Amino acid sequence: MGMKRMWVLFLARNYEFFRDRAGFGWNILFPFLIVAGFGLLFGADSGQEFKAGVFPVSGPANSAPAWMESLDIPEKLKTYSFVKLIPFDSRETAMDRLVHHKVDILLKNGGRAVQYWISDSSPRGRLMEKVVKEAMVPESQFAGKVIRQEIQGDQVRYIDWLFPGILGMNIMFSAFFGVGYVIVRYRRSGVLKRLKATPVTSFEYLTAQLLSRVVILMGSSALVWAGCDLIFSFQVRGSYLDAFLVFLAGTLCLVSFGLILASRGTNEELTSGVINFICWPMMFLSEVWFSIEGSSDWIKTISSFLPLTHFLKAARRVINDGADLSQVSHELFLMILMSLVFLSLGSWMFSWTK
């Protein structure tokens, strides 16, 4: 194995990436924009998970205390932190929002009895129906019948839980398109055919591509992390060193997976379709955006075979729960094992020309 040849290929791929300013900027800007968007949506109002529309409400709705005090609805509904009241001036507008699931329940302002509407296809509406009924029952009715206990301590914000998923998703797409798609483009343009005439072996070439992409992705992820942390002040309960090692293992695993996609093919359009066919199911089944807890067993079984699942599970346990490397050793072992398997398969299947 020629280390000098690998080093030259490693440098050449890095130079190519950094000279492409548009691609370099997008790798950093894209995940930052996603995190910023979700931070604005769920950061300050993360507790207001349910939306209750109220009609008719006349006058400006900008001064929330003013119009909320004049509402003729159960008083407890105005105090719930997990319920966001949204005013509407007409029934037609309010009904349209309910039909399109933009509000979970619709309340009529005023009247001798509390009148409300829910969608029969909305589970959130059913829950809000229970909340409305509970708001009408005096607290004395629950005395001696229920025992309430609250969990004390720091809570994990949604943005803190989401952030590792966003970084993992960005690493996955960058690994697949930055390695798989690019190498297929090289094969189609004849670059690999010329490299075949040199002493470079397929293992040396793929290893150089892997190391280059891992370094680039780790660096860009660190920049995104630092920039987002200045705005949202992420809570990292574990060690930064442990988090770095988890991200290194996860990035290595995903880039190695990308090498399999790059091993054959000369059609860039087909390669792009295959990458999207793999990325999108993995993104949803690996809990990037939401948890699959409570899903069918077969969904969880499929998820357990995906490298991104183990990557995000280990990252969230370190960042959100304060776990150390020994507590995520199972996920680390699987990611390293997958990396070796993917790299071996990619080298074995690799073709310079077809």
The pLDDT of residue 47 is 45
Predicted TM-score (pTM) of the model is 0.73
The pLDDT of residue 44 is 47
How many CA atoms lie within 13 Å of 54's alpha carbon, on the beta-carbon side? 24
Q: Contact at 8 Å (CB) between 28 and 226?
A: no
* Cα–Cα distance, 276 to 279 (Å, whole number): 5
* Cα–Cα distance, 124 to 51 (Å, whole number): 9
User: Which residue is listed with tokens 């990325």?
Assistant: 279
* Cα–Cα distance, 236 to 189 (Å, whole number): 45
The pLDDT of residue 332 is 93
Dump pLDDT digits (tens) for 294-311: 778 888 888 889 999 999
User: Which residue is listed with tokens 């005096």?
Assistant: 138
pLDDT, block means (10 residues), the chain with 354 residues:
75 74 68 68 57 81 63 84 86 89 89 87 87 84 76 70 85 82 79 78 80 86 81 81 92 88 74 82 83 80 90 91 89 92 84 75
Q: Indicate the residue type of 323.
A: A
Q: Which contiguous run of DSSP H or E holds residue 117?
A: strand 116-117
Residue 196's CB: how many other CB atoms inside 10 A? Answer: 13
**What are the chain's domains?**
3-42+157-349 (no CATH), 50-142 (3.40.190.10)
The pLDDT of residue 42 is 56
Dump pLDDT digits (tens) for 60-104: 554 456 677 778 888 888 888 788 888 888 888 899 889 888 899
The pLDDT of residue 311 is 93
Q: Report residue 299: phi and psi, to 5°.
A: -70, -45
Q: Which two tokens stand for residue 298?
A: 């077969």
Closest CA to 288 of 297, 296, 279: 279
The pLDDT of residue 60 is 53
Q: Contact at 8 Å (CB) between 288 and 166?
A: yes
The pLDDT of residue 43 is 53
